Structure 1
Amino acid sequence: MTLPAPARRRPPRVAMPWRAGLVFVAVTAALIAIPSLARSPFGVAPDEYHRGAHAVQALLTTLVVGAIVVLACRWLDRRPLAARGVTGRGAGRMAVVGAAAWLLPAVLAIAGCVAIGWVRVDLVFSPAELLPLVATQALLVLLLEALPEEFAFRGYLFANLSERLGPWATVLTQAALFATCGVLIGAVQDPTRLLIFLGFGIGLGYLRLLTGTIWAGVGLHVAFQTVAQLLGGTQVPAFSVTGLGVLEVVAYGLVPFGLGLPLVARLLRSRPAWLPTSGAVPSP
């Protein structure tokens, strides 16, 4: 009996630079347009915060950016999502690893800054209100920032760039695209903020390089953004912070990224794995 020949993989419809460029433009345009669409039913001005508009924006962002990535994978790339590091296998475990890698050293660093006297942190809400606020804010961060941004930048763009570039060139290029998108959508207003975006993008890109999947980055992204928004943020700050600049540099950046990401590498018992097209996670 003759076995059928394996199906030949169809080539992408267009070259990698065009695929990456089209998705970058589509995602950036969506991130620019969606906030206005989300505010319009509530009659909210651009400089006002509205919780309902925030929730609508978060849901729309995940749906639209997710649809862009899925369509690009199927139509432009002719590849499954798993080949772009977007797979559900082991997602929960890797998300917990990523969140813990940032959160544990960040909490220790925050406590150290407070103990030394560099920073003062005061609770604004009552303790009973804090837990539901943290939970809802984490969910909004997941839908508005973590999932769509990791799908697009550390998922689709990272995997496509890796077809032409080496590992660290891919990490740096996707970080530059991430920061450029931040400038275009108005999330970056000054050089300091630009450096934060670049550093954050590099750290998340390294985590993608290390694990071969976006999910550790999703977990880290949720932890980082939730803490940053609750500690002195402009939306629903749960804490009043004096010395926020010190906190942002030391407790949000230097300590957790300097300790947490090497800890992930040690937990995985592996050097950074160059997995440009695989969604598999290295075996610990």
Structure 2
Amino acid sequence: MALNNSTDPTAHGTLWTRILSGFAISGLVIAVLVILVRWSGRRSLSAAGFTTASGDLRAFALGIASWSVPAVATFFVLRLLGNPLQIPVAAAEFWLVFGLIFFAVLLTEAIPEELVFRGYVSAVLAERLPSWWVIGVQTALFVATAVFLRGGVSPLDVSLFAAMGIVLGYVRLVTGSVWTAVGIHVAFQSASQLVFTHGIIEFGGSPELAMIALGGVPFTAAAILVSVLDVRKTRD
């Protein structure tokens, strides 16, 4: 927003600036991680959650779908109960803002955060700790980093970051791919920003109901879905 000389996080110019900044942020993170992997001499990019281009793309799509399907279903149930989602803008404006937010979140949040915490950090911890300790420690580091970067957060924010760290860490453990976590992360954060920050979606229910539909239900369902799918893939 400083680069764009705007205090409005919903402005198109601000979103474009986030996207351009995201290319630099994600590029820097990837470069540092590659250097660390090569410098260690005993790790590979696959240990940090990378597989093949096609495999990573499928894992990314799985992450988006495993979060989006239960979230849409939950909002549908809430609509039947008298709490509808409405789009008070033209379709062209909605899809433009949706696309800008999606890529802004992907490049400035989802890719760098997941590659660091659920990727490289989890891989290093897995060399020394049991699986559930890996999830717990990387979650603590993730929450501490978020609090530091934001200059302090509320207890509700801390609980949200902790829940994200645990679920995404578990997804990374089960699937073996960091890109499933990237998909869940970008879907959740994009939808949350659309509902709570931007005026192109209006929810008829309370913020608490919105958080259940955006957080509690789809995160729980996503963890179950990726576990079931991974078991089936292993059997096949």
Alignment of 1:136-215 (within 5 A): 136-186=100-150, 189-215=153-179
Identity of aligned residues (%): 32
Query: 1:147 deviation in Å?
Result: 0.8
SS in 2 for 1:203: helix
Distance 1:99 1:230, change over 3 A: same
Distance 1:140 1:74 in 2: 29
Aligned length: 230
Distance 1:283 1:69, change over 3 A: farther
1:34-90 Cα deviation digits (max 9, x unpaired) = xxxx734x344xx54323332232122111211221111112455221222123340
Distance 1:228 1:283, change over 3 A: farther
Query: 1:188 deviation in Å?
Result: 5.5
Q: Which runs of 4+ in 1 moved over 4 A?
A: 281-284
Q: TM (normalized to structure 2)?
A: 0.88
Distance 1:74 1:282, change over 3 A: farther
What are the ranges of 5 or more consecutive residues in structure 1 without an aligned counterpart? 1-37, 271-280
Does residue 115 of the first structure (1) align with residue 77 of the second (2)?
no
Distance 2:175 2:227 in 1: 9
Distance 1:77 1:197 in 2: 32
Q: Which of 52, 60, 85 is the aligned partner of 1:95?
A: 60
What RMSD in Å do the two structures reach over aligned CA positions? 2.1
Distance 1:189 1:69, change over 3 A: same
Larger Rg belongs to: 1
Asked if the contact 1:113–1:247 (Cα under 8 Å) also holds between the matched residues in 2, the reply is: no
SS in 2 for 1:246: helix
Q: Which residue of structure 2 lines up, in the alignment, with residue 126 of structure 1?
A: 90
Asked if the contact 1:178–1:201 (Cα under 8 Å) also holds between the matched residues in 2, the reply is: yes
Q: Which amino acid aligns with 1:114?
A: R
What are the ranges of 5 or more consecutive residues in structure 2 without an aligned counterpart? none
Q: TM (normalized to structure 1)?
A: 0.74
Distance 1:188 1:207, change over 3 A: farther
Q: Which of 204, 208, 223 is the aligned partner of 2:187?
A: 223
Higher helix share: 2
Distance 1:209 1:95 in 2: 15
If asked which structure has higher relative contact order (CA below 8 Å, sep 6+), I would say 2
